[in-house]
Amino acid sequence: MLTLRRGTVTAIAERHDGLVRLEVDGRPCVAYPRLTGPVALGDDVLVNVQAVELGLGSGGFDVLHANLTRGLELPPEPGAHVMKLPYTPLQLAVHHLEELGAGRDRLAGLPVVCCSLHSQLAPVCAGLGTSLRVAYAQLPGGALPVSLSDTVRKLRRRGFLALSVAVGACVDGDTACVSTASALSWCAGEGFDVVVCGIGPGIVGTSSPFGHGGLAAAEAVIAARILGGHPILAVRVSGADQRERHHGLSHHTRAVLELAGDVEVGWPEGFELPAELGATTAVDTAGWREACAGLPLAHMGRGPDEDPAFFEAAFAAGRLAGSRATN
């Protein structure tokens, strides 16, 4: 069941395109104005408080569910017919690229970096640099609104990303696709040099082998391979995570490899290779810290000084994809 609470907007902290950070009766909250309409001080609102009350770690804020002052009877996107979150109380009509004929192009070797965590996105893009035209396809497995991500905003601002695609149940990207395959096909048809597939912040996880959002990377690998692309897996590796299942090569990456089969893996030169990983492509990652300067680098509360292996491995995937794009 939804856990909703009525309250009053008592503060507006930040406004971004697609996201407002605010307070409702003094509690931190986020609003998505393209979904629930504009919001202002004093508005009478309903907020979803369930994640905070359950003590889930990645959020720490409520989510505006409905604005009773100015958010009722909002019009749908003109001409949109395909529903996001269909047959739920949150269903909304959104234009999807497939309605315009997307999904018919083969990938012709297009490099596709497949990430299992949102925190890999920034170092992957740093490895790609700003000279390539890069699209980001967000798959379900973490937060669904693309607009929640400060990382995506900063990468767009710095020229690392040209466009975002909200895939499947994901919402609030620059554009939307029903499936991963269609998103990749459309990006190929539009002439992007590289596509980075990943999930939003706050991965769904259960500690079981296949019960986590990181398996979105396996879906991306399979779709890219079958459509004639060149999938490259960004592996999740850590020297600082004390949980056995994530120390060294994460069980998330092992699960992706088990399901997706053969895929190229970029591995930093000089790193000890985990036995479970098998064949890899050595990547010169010299200068990775400088390339990542000013980008949001954080994973489980750790930065590049606390867990350099995590960020350098993701950077290697981006640098490898960049070399494949220019060959």
Q: Is the pLDDT of residue 131 over 70?
A: yes
What does the pLDDT look like over 85-111, one tens digit per residue?
A: 999 999 999 999 998 887 778 999 999
pLDDT class of 304 with cuts at 50, 70, 90: confident
Report the pLDDT value the prediction gives residue 300, as an integer from 0 to 100. 67
**Helical H segments across 215-260, by residue range:** 216-226, 251-260
The rounded percent of the chain whose pLDDT value lies above 90 is 74
Is the dihedral angle over the CA atoms 49, 52, 57, 63 positive or is it negative?
Answer: positive
Q: Compute φ and ψ for 29, nearest 5 degrees.
A: -150, 155
Closest CA to 45 of 67, 15, 65, 60: 67
Q: Is the pLDDT of residue 57 over 80?
A: no
Q: Is the pLDDT of residue 305 over 90?
A: no
pLDDT class of 243 with cuts at 50, 70, 90: low
What does the pLDDT look like over 67-82, one tens digit per residue?
A: 999 999 999 999 999 9
Look up residue 26 and give its amino acid.
G
Report the pLDDT value the prediction gives residue 238, as an integer from 0 to 100. 72
Distance of CA 99 to the CA centre of its chain: 23
Cα→Cα distances 179→41, 186, 193, 321, Å: 38, 11, 20, 22
Query: SS3 for 290?
Result: helix
Average pLDDT value over all residues in the chain = 91
Report the pLDDT value the prediction gives residue 193, as an integer from 0 to 100. 98
What does the pLDDT look like over 140-187, one tens digit per residue?
A: 999 999 999 999 999 999 999 999 999 999 999 999 999 999 999 999
Class of domain 4-67: mainly beta
Q: Is the pLDDT of residue 240 over 70?
A: no
What does the pLDDT look like over 115-130, one tens digit per residue?
A: 999 999 999 999 999 9
Report the pLDDT value the prediction gives residue 248, as an integer from 0 to 100. 59
Q: Is the pLDDT of residue 205 over 90?
A: no
Report the pLDDT value the prediction gives residue 272, as an integer from 0 to 100. 79
Q: Choose between 167 and 326: higher pLDDT.
A: 167
pLDDT class of 29 with cuts at 50, 70, 90: very high
The rounded percent of the chain whose pLDDT value lies above 70 is 94
Interacting residues of 57 by C-beta distance below 8 A, sequence separation 6+: none
CA distance 106 to 188: 7
Report the pLDDT value the prediction gives residue 249, as an integer from 0 to 100. 80
pTM: 0.94
- The domain segmentation of the chain, as residue ranges, is 4-67, 98-326
Report the pLDDT value the prediction gives residue 83, as an integer from 0 to 100. 95
Of 29-38, 234-243, 266-275, which has the strongest mean pLDDT?
Answer: 29-38
Q: Is the pLDDT of residue 51 over 80?
A: yes
Report the pLDDT value the prediction gives residue 298, as an integer from 0 to 100. 81
Q: How large is the average pLDDT for residues 321-325? A: 95
Name the E strands within the chain: 4-16, 19-24, 27-31, 44-48, 62-67, 82-84, 92-94, 111-114, 134-139, 163-167, 175-177, 194-199, 230-233, 237-238, 248-249, 264-268, 281-283
Report the pLDDT value the prediction gives residue 244, as an integer from 0 to 100. 54
